[in-house]
């Protein structure tokens, strides 16, 4: 992703995370330094999912009560850790961990991504998956999802933000891929990438050992990444 503004441009590279039912992230939140942890969570399942949020300090002690966040089917929740625990008795400044666990008997997996913010600057936060391998991405629609598919929990465009997608073929033969964009409600999201405006980019061929880049571009075909 890239974010541009009066303070300059910041960008970070993020790999698509695997699905998880139990994950832990590092938290470092300080109000006077504008530090916060941003979360993007996506439910790729056909049923709603509740996830529990448990915050601990650097000594491993639980802070406040466990919070439950509902993620509707095929939808996304984007929030900051300070928003999740707003109105609770936790300290304003916290250094510790955030545990995210699928709640209930269904134990359905979700996709989680974290970004560490300090003001307008941001970087990727590694996620420690404690659930092992919960299986492939469910089929979301005809030709979308299923075995071999990956899910990036956050795609941003507009308002000074932009997203560049880099797809690599590590195999020995040509592969054909498609990229589908969705908004937070799970509906198709149109964006202009490589000069084409669409929500689905299909029949994209990548030669063996090759790379395909999808990005917003100017009239000369250049991007800002």
- For 116-143, write each residue's pLDDT tens digit: 999 888 898 999 999 987 788 999 989 9
Residue 6 reports pLDDT greater than 60: no
pLDDT given for residue 121 in this prediction:
87
Percentage of the chain exceeding pLDDT 70: 98
What domains are there in the chain, each with its CATH number? 16-135 (2.60.290.11), 161-214 (no CATH)
Please give the C-alpha separations between residue 218 and each of 103, 196, 201, 212, 221, in angstroms, as whole numbers.
45, 12, 19, 18, 5
- For 93-117, write each residue's pLDDT tens digit: 999 999 999 987 778 999 999 999 9
Residue 159: pLDDT band (50, 70, 90) is confident
> pTM for the whole thing?
0.90
pLDDT given for residue 7 in this prediction:
57
Q: What is the 3-state secondary structure (H, E, C) of the chain?
A: CEEEECCEEEECCCCCCCCECEEEEEEEEEHHHCEEEEEEEECCCCCCEEEEEEEEECCCCECCCCEEEEECCCCEEEEEHHHHCCCCCCCCCEEEEEEEEEECCCCCCEEEEEEEEECCEEEEECEEECCCCCCCCCEEECCEECCCCCCCCCCCCECCEECCEEEECCCCCCEEEEEECECCCCCECCEEECCEEECEEEEEEECCCCEEEECCCCCCCCCCC
């Amino acid at each position: 992703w890239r974010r541009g503004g009066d303070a300059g441009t910041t960008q970070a590279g993020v790999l698509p995370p695997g699905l998880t039912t139990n994950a832990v992230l590092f938290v470092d939140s300080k109000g006077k330094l504008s530090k916060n942890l941003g979360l993007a969570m996506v439910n790729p399942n056909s049923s709603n999912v509740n996830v529990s949020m448990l915050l601990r300090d650097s000594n491993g002690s639980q802070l406040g009560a466990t919070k439950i966040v509902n993620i509707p089917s095929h939808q996304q929740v984007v929030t900051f850790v300070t928003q999740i625990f707003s109105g609770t008795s936790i300290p304003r400044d916290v250094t510790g961990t955030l545990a995210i666990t699928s709640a209930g008997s269904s134990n359905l997996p979700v996709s989680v991504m974290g970004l560490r913010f300090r003001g307008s600057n941001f970087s990727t936060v590694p996620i420690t998956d404690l659930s092992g391998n919960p299986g492939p991405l469910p089929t979301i629609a005809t030709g979308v999802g299923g075995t071999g598919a990956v899910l990036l929990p956050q795609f941003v465009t507009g308002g000074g933000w932009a997203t560049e997608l880099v797809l690599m073929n590590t195999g020995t033969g040509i592969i054909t891929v498609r990229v589908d964009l969705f908004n937070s409600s799970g509906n198709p999201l149109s964006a202009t990438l490589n000069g084409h405006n669409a929500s689905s980019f299909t029949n994209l061929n990548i030669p063996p050992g090759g790379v395909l880049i999808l990005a917003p571009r100017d009239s000369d075909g250049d991007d800002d990444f």
